[in-house]
Structure formats: C-alpha cells, structure tokens
C-alpha cells in the first residue's frame, strides 16, 4: 500500500509523468492546464530534471521534441488554443518518430471560447489535427488516480512505439480533487524507447529488421551520427521523392500502431452481462454516466457502461461486438457529437445510437443521461 494523498487531476498528471521518467517539461501558461506547468516547475529540478517556460505553444512542443531527440523523456501540456498551435510539430514527431507526451486539458471552444468551462471538443482534432495521414494514440482519464496511471501509460506507449501520445484530459478531470493511493515505486512499470546499445556508423537509423516496426535510433550525442527530418525519408533518414519509399514509410507508420491494436487498446466496462442499454462515455463525462447507470439500475433498467480509456485507436472491434448484443448505445460527451460519429460508423445498424451532448460550457448531469436512457 502506498500513501493516500489528496490530489488534483493536473497534479496527478505531473506526478505520474515524473514517475514515468519525465525529466523535461516545456510549456506555456494556458487555462485550465496551467497547474501542470506550475507543478512541473517546482518538482522537476528537485528530481534533477528541467522545466522551461517557452515563448509560445509552438516553441514548447518544439523544445520538448528537441529534448527527446537528445534522449530525455519530455512532455508539454496545453488547452484548446494551444493544442491548435502545436499541431504542425505534433505531425513532425509522428513522422520523425520522436517519443513525446502532449497533454490537452480540454476547455470549451472554438477560439478562446470559455476558458474555465469543461469540454471534450478536441477529440477529432486529436485524431486529425495535424496535416497528412498519420496514426495517433490518445488516452482519456476519468479520475485523478486514472490520470496518474494513464500518464505513466502515455509515456510508456510513446517510448515503446516512438510516437507522440496525447493525454486528452478535460477541465472536469484536470481540476477535480480527490483522494488517491500512490502506487509503490516497484509496482510501476517503466518502458524505455528502443535504442541502439552502442554506436554503429554502418547502421541506418530507420532500418527495420524483418517484422520490426519501431526504429532504434540513438540519442543525439551518443556517437551515432545521423539525420532526422520531417521530410519523407528512407531508412537512411535522408529525404526521398520515391513513391515506393514514401509508401513503405507511410505503411510502416500506420502498421506500427494498427498491428499493435491489441496491446494499445484499453477500455473498461461495467454491467454489460445483462445490459440492454449501454452508455458510451470517456474522460470526465464518465462520472455522470456512472451515477446515471446506478440510478437506472435502481429503477430496474438494465444499463451498462462502455468506456474507452484509449480513444485513438478507437476500440472498434469490441464496440462492434457489443452493438450486436444490446438494444441501444447512448453516447454522452461534452461536445456537439464527435466520438458519436465514430460510434455510428462502427455500430452501423446493429442497434440504436442515442446522444447526450453538451457544448455550452455546462456539465452533463446524470439526470440528462438517465432521461435519454428512459426515452426508448
């Protein structure tokens, strides 16, 4: 048993990141993510790590990528407007295969929107925000404890697959305070990126052995000299205009994530055994969904929950199977209907899909979800 502490979601993100091995944070103040920067500034130098407040959001992610290139686990955090600004360099980290964790504590938008109000309006930006086809991993915690655990997982996935991982928090979870038990250090699994063990000048940095999908690049300064670029490149790391090489690289990037779907996917379910109606929810919305389910059960309604914690890649296989067994799936989210589109795409006509959304800065109540459940 570890210590039980009272913590805020944003604080849990920082402590989780430190436990995962984050040793550099680069950020820019923005509500409602600012506490992540503040606590990083306090805690990192205590752990021998470094904090830097950069001049803008773009510089923050660029700085974090630079640190990662030099072999240091790094993170940046922001909210909607800053997440928009980070998109170009997010794509850079995807293509150049640089591990990195980007946190978006979502707030109501578009534009400056309502900075202190909750939202889950960036879910599709998380998927498609940076230009060009690309795979992405995005994770949504629903509690303070989950924020701690899933931040560690975000680092581990980013290291394992050498790709940026998005921690899609929301204002509800970021500013939520609750008690949580800190895990013992020895119970925490830490994954480090694949890296060559010793410098080998003959080795191509993006060379893959048969079946290998993740490159083993050396940190800068280790003695292995090579080139990193945001241009489409071949195994040597140098730009190419060959359509064959471009296809090879793009396919590998996609397969790096899709072939590991089973290992990356993460979702929790509740009361699915006898459920007629399932609430599909994620992040902060899960709190109201939980209460709604309990209220419905008290009324004798057979209601369950399907809650992805990894939203991208989307747990489509499991949701599709579920949709064949239930009468209705009610999607609850703090936006105009974003993951709803994904649920509809997967479910097709297998069952009815209902929607409880909120896009005015207010919070979805259990009663609103319950009303939707009772509509049938």
Partner 1 sequence: MVNRGDVKPKNKQMSNLVYKYMRPEHLPHIWCPGCGNGIIMRDVAQAIENLGLSRNNTIIVSGIGCSSRAAGYLDFNTIHTTHGRAIAFATGIKLANPSLEVIVIAGDGDISAIGGNHLIHAARRNIGITVVVMNNNIYGMTGGQYSPTTPKGAFGTTAPYGNLDRSFDIAGLAYGAGASFSARGSAYHVQQTINIIQEGIRHDGFSLIDVASVCPTYFGRKNKSGSAVDMLKWQRDNMIPAEKAEKMSPEELKGKLVLGILHQTQYTEFTYAYERLIKRLYEEREANE
By CB under 8 A, name the one of 13, 59, 172, 257 that touches partner 1.
59
Q: Which residues are registered as beta bridge partners of 348? A: none
Number of residues that bind partner 1 (CB under 8 A): 51
Of 45, 110, 179, 362, the one binding partner 1 by CB under 8 A: 45
Q: Which of 18, 20, 63, 369 binds partner 1 (CB under 8 A)?
A: 63
- Number of Cβ within 10 Å of residue 296's Cβ equals 22
Cβ proximity to partner 1, 179 vs 199, nearer residue: 199
The least distance separating partner 1 from the CB of residue 201, rounded to whole angstroms, comes to: 4
By the rule CB under 8 A, 199 interacts with partner 1:
yes
Interface stretch with partner 1, choices 61-69, 187-195, 251-259, 342-350 (CB under 8 A): 61-69
Residue 45 CB, shortest distance to partner 1, in Å, is 5
Six token digits for residue 139: 């994770």
Does residue 30 belong to the site contacting partner 1 (CB under 8 A)? no
Find out whether 42 and 17 touch, Cβ atoms under 8 Å.
no
Nearer to partner 1, 67 or 293 (CB): 67
Rounded to whole angstroms, the Cα distance separating 346 from 343 reads: 5
Residue 132 has, within 13 A of its CA and on its CB side, a CA count of 17
236: phi then psi, degrees, rounded to nearest 5: -75, -15
DSSP 112: T
Give, as one character, the DSSP assignment of residue 233. Answer: B
Report how far residue 154's alpha carbon sits from residue 311's, in angstroms, rounded to the nearest whole number: 12
Which one, 84 or 147, has the nearer CB to partner 1? 84
Stretch that binds partner 1, among 220-228, 268-276, 299-307, 324-332 (CB under 8 A): 220-228
- Determine which residue in the list 128, 238, 261, 359 makes contact with partner 1, applying CB under 8 A: 238
Q: Which residues fall within 8 angstroms of residue 308, CB to CB, at 6 or more apart? A: 140, 265, 266, 267, 282, 314, 315
User: Shortest approach of partner 1 to residue 100 CB, angstroms?
Assistant: 10
- Considering only residues 82 to 111 of the shown chain, the ones binding partner 1 according to CB under 8 A are 88-89, 92
Which residue from 4, 6, 190, 231 is in contact with partner 1, where contact means CB under 8 A? 231
The reply on whether position 29 binds partner 1 by CB under 8 A is no
DSSP label at 283? T
Task: State how far Cα 231 lies from the chain centre.
Answer: 25
- Quick one: which of 68, 78, 120, 142 contacts partner 1 (CB under 8 A)? 68
- Residue from 201, 241, 262, 324 touching partner 1 (CB under 8 A): that is 201
55 binds partner 1 (CB under 8 A): yes
Output phi, psi for 102, to 5 deg: -115, 120
CB 122 within 8 A of CB 106: yes
Closest-CA residue to 89 (of 49, 113, 122, 56)? 56
- Residue 268 interacts with partner 1 (CB under 8 A)? no
Distance between CA atoms of residues 35 and 29, nearest Å: 9
Question: Rounded to the nearest whole angstrom, what is the least distance from the CB of residue 364 to partner 1 in the complex?
Answer: 38
Contact 18, 46 (CB under 8 A): no
Q: Is 52 in the site for partner 1 (CB under 8 A)?
A: yes
Question: Which residues contact partner 1 (rule: CB under 8 A)?
Answer: 23-24, 26, 45-46, 48, 50, 52, 54-56, 58-60, 62-72, 74, 88-89, 92, 199, 201-205, 220-231, 236-239
């Amino acid at each position: 048993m570890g210590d039980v502490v009272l913590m805020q979601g944003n604080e849990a993100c920082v402590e989780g990141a430190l436990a995962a091995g984050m040793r550099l944070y680069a950020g820019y103040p923005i509500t409602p993510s600012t506490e992540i920067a503040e606590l990083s500034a306090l805690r990192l130098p205590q752990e021998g790590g470094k904090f830097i407040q950069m001049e803008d959001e773009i510089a923050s992610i660029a700085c974090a990528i630079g640190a990662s290139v030099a072999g240091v686990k790094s993170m940046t955090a922001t909210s909607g407007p800053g997440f928009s600004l980070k998109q170009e360099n997010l794509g850079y980290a995807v293509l150049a295969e640089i591990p990195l964790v980007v946190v978006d504590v979502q707030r109501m938008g578009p534009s400056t929107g309502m900075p202190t109000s909750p939202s889950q309006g960036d879910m599709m930006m998380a998927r498609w925000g940076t230009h060009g086809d690309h795979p992405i991993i995005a994770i949504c915690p629903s509690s303070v404890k989950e924020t701690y655990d899933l931040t560690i997982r975000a680092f581990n996935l980013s290291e394992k697959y050498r790709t940026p991982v998005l921690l899609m928090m929301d204002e509800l979870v970021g500013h939520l305070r609750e008690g949580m038990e800190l895990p013992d250090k020895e119970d925490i699994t830490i994954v480090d990126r694949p890296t060559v063990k010793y410098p080998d000048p003959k080795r191509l940095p993006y060379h893959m052995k048969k079946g290998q999908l993740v490159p083993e690049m050396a940190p800068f300064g280790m003695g292995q000299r090579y080139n990193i670029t945001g241009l489409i490149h071949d195994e040597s790391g140098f730009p190419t205009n060959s359509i064959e090489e471009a296809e090879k690289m793009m396919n590998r990037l996609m397969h790096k994530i899709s072939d590991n779907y089973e290992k990356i996917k993460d979702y929790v379910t509740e009361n699915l055994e006898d459920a007629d109606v399932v609430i599909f929810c994620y992040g902060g919305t899960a709190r109201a969904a939980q209460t709604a389910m309990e209220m419905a059960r008290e009324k004798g309604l057979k209601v369950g929950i399907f809650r992805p914690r990894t939203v991208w890649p989307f747990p489509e296989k499991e949701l599709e199977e579920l949709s064949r067994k239930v009468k209705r799936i009610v999607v609850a989210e703090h936006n105009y209907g974003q993951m709803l589109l994904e649920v509809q795409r997967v479910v097709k006509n297998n069952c009815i899909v209902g929607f409880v959304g909120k896009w005015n800065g207010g919070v979805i109540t259990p009663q609103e979800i319950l009303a939707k459940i009772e509509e049938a």
